Chain A
Amino acid sequence: MIKIFLVNTIFLGAILTNAYASEVANNILKSVDKNLAPESYEAYRKLINEEPDGKKKEFLFYTIKKGKDKIAMLYLEPAIEKGRATLRLGDNMWLFIPNVNRPVRITSLQSIVGGVFNNADIMTLEYAVEYNAEIESSSGTENILNLKAKSSTVAYDKLKMWVTKDTNLLRKVECYGASGVLIKTLEFKEDKNFGNGLVRPSKIETYSPLFKGYRSYIIYQKIKPKKIPDEAFTLQYMGKLGDLR
């Protein structure tokens, strides 16, 4: 009887410890999300694709985001791409091309701008919305989290994330496919004060073993809290995103 009680107690203790560790990890993840951007904001971002021979292609995006699962992006440069828009609502993504006059569904793994970034990288939602976290290890200055996708429509099955211990700022993310293959690495650099209490990395650099010699960068030039109506995140509004600027 005592034996059974002890086994049950140990078993229950293990479950509770696990649940607590998982809660701590997910709280760190929520804090990481909070430190990356305000709940509702507009941003100007530059994306640069660099090829092995040194050729560069640059894009400038106007981005709006609201809540945990809404983000939309308007192409401002180059001129030939101007007016294109992308929208993400949770796992759903669409691309609007002015001359086609119709949003078409795209998938998170596609890359509408070429380079190493795919659509999910450019239109990132809050990590806590798409992933469950666990703490893998903890060093003097950083926590390393393992993230597992909540659904099959998420671009990467697993993430390994490096987060600063004192400020919960993102430093590095490794993205893995369902087979366990490393797809790409994202490095978060150059912390910058964007005002309104927001201090975050301003430059994201990515490279992939699948695209040797290619590198892509996202540079945040401005992030500002903004009140945005929900209807701005609909297919019907994609052709008019520029009106919000």
Chain B
Amino acid sequence: MRKELFFILIFLTLGEGVKAEENILEKTSELTEEAPKKLEISGNLDVKYIGAKSRKSSPLYGLMFYPQNNLSSSLSQTRLEPYLNFDYTTKDIAFHSKNHGIIYGETDSTFDILELYGEFSPNSNFVLSAGKRALNWGKGYIFNPVGYVNPVKDPENPELIQIGKTALMGEYTKTFSSGLVQVFSLSMMSLPPTNKANHYGELKETNFAIKSYFLVDDTDIDFMAYSSTKDARQYGMDFSRNIVANLEVHGEFSFFENASKYSIKATTPEINKIKGNSFLIGGRYLNPSNTTIIGEFYHNGMGLSKADFQNYLNYIKNLISSGTNQAIQQESATSKMKLK
């Protein structure tokens, strides 16, 4: 298993926009007036140096660095990660694009569109958006059992934005000046089928997700559901509340069925469809010296048991010692998904 000892981030702010903002203190535009068109270009460059101390006897080390098994246990990596964002906003229409690259060397680099979507907002209550968005459902910091539409997080930096999902989404928000509910919001979205052939998917395999939000008695509460004919069908809720001035508590509870669980039976990988639940409870505490401590307990009902994981490690070990080159590389590419 790879253990990353440390990494250094250097943030360089490249640009802060070309919008008409010469003297913001002189701007007096009213809400009812036609807001000026705005184009902003922004970005930053992360320079990362990673030092890794690894246990060479781990089967996952063998899989990760196959076929270069002559590497030492102490490794380093340097990479550049440029981010470039474009935002165009008018009174009721907006376009957003977030782009990210990873540059390991002059001939080894990747480029991702993290987000690319348009929004139409005829009033402050309603927003319709279409495109690729990195949504972030749930209240947990590192894990989100109810993050049905979230991209997979980077375990090294869980708050870092990842590649979003393409969706058509409508969101309605209403506030109330009296009564128990202070704010209500409803989001509905459709996501294209995950299985595609020649860029087409089955219409009946279109996925749907819905989330309702309530601010009730100073507590954030969400109810959400994800409907799919191929993937897991899931429904759940989350909450977050400040108990006192320096303590927040949060939780997520999710129930699922038709979820894919990867495991090794005898010496062969197999996929079983299961149902169960996942949950997370956590808190955020600010101590007197101004340090914030976050603690979370997470149960993943789709995860592997200790015995399952040991079987998987044995399978990897056998694969590396006796498998074909193609089988090993295929396993290497998909191992991340199976371990999720």
Contact = CB atoms under 8 A, between A and B. Distances in A.
Contact of A107 (B13, B27, B246): B246
Q: Which 7 A-B pairs have the closest CB atoms?
A: A102-B136, A79-B16, A231-B124, A230-B175, A229-B124, A99-B161, A101-B136
Given A231-B125, A237-B124, A89 B245 contact: no
Given A44-B25, A233-B175, 6 more contacts: A79-B15, A80-B44, A92-B215, A101-B133, A107-B284, A243-B94
Interface in A56-110: 60, 62, 76, 78-80, 82, 89-93, 97, 99-102, 104-110
B212 to A, nearest CB: 12
Interface in B121-138: 121, 123-125, 127, 133-138
Contacts of B284: 105, 107
A132 to B, nearest CB: 17
A154 interface: yes
Contact of A99 (B38, B160, B185): B160
A231 B171 CA distance: 12
Interface string B120-161: 010111010000011111110000000000000000000111
B159 A107 contact: no
A80 B134 contact: no
11 contacts: A97-B159, A105-B241, A108-B245, A109-B286, A221-B25, A228-B31, A229-B31, A234-B183, A235-B183, A236-B185, A245-B35
A236 B173 CA distance: 7
A192 interface: no
B175 A231 contact: yes
The winner among B124, B171, B240 for most chain A CB atoms within 10 A is: B124
A99 B159 contact: yes
Nearest to B285: A107
B245 A245 contact: no
B288 to A, nearest CB: 9
A78 B44 CA distance: 13
Nearest to A60: B24
Interface string A214-245: 00000001101011111111111100101111
B228 interface: no
B242 A153 contact: yes
A233 B25 CA distance: 22
Contacts of A108: 245
B121 A240 contact: yes
B177 interface: yes
A141 interface: no
A211 B7 CA distance: 30
Contacts of B5: none
Contacts, number: 124
| Interface SS majority for chain A | mixed
A233 B213 CA distance: 14
Interface in A99-147: 99-102, 104-111
Interface string B242-271: 101111101000000000000000000000
B68 interface: no
A174 B202 CA distance: 66
A108 B241 CA distance: 13
Nearest to B114: A99
A76 B242 contact: no
Given A97-B159, A231-B175, A152 B136 contact: no
Contact of B161 (A44, A91, A101, A232): A101
A155 interface: yes
B24 A44 contact: yes
A245 B35 CA distance: 8
Nearest to A44: B25
A226 B136 contact: no
A170 B137 CA distance: 42
B299 interface: no
B19 to A, nearest CB: 9
B32 to A, nearest CB: 7
Given A101-B135, A110-B292, A234-B183, A242 B244 contact: no
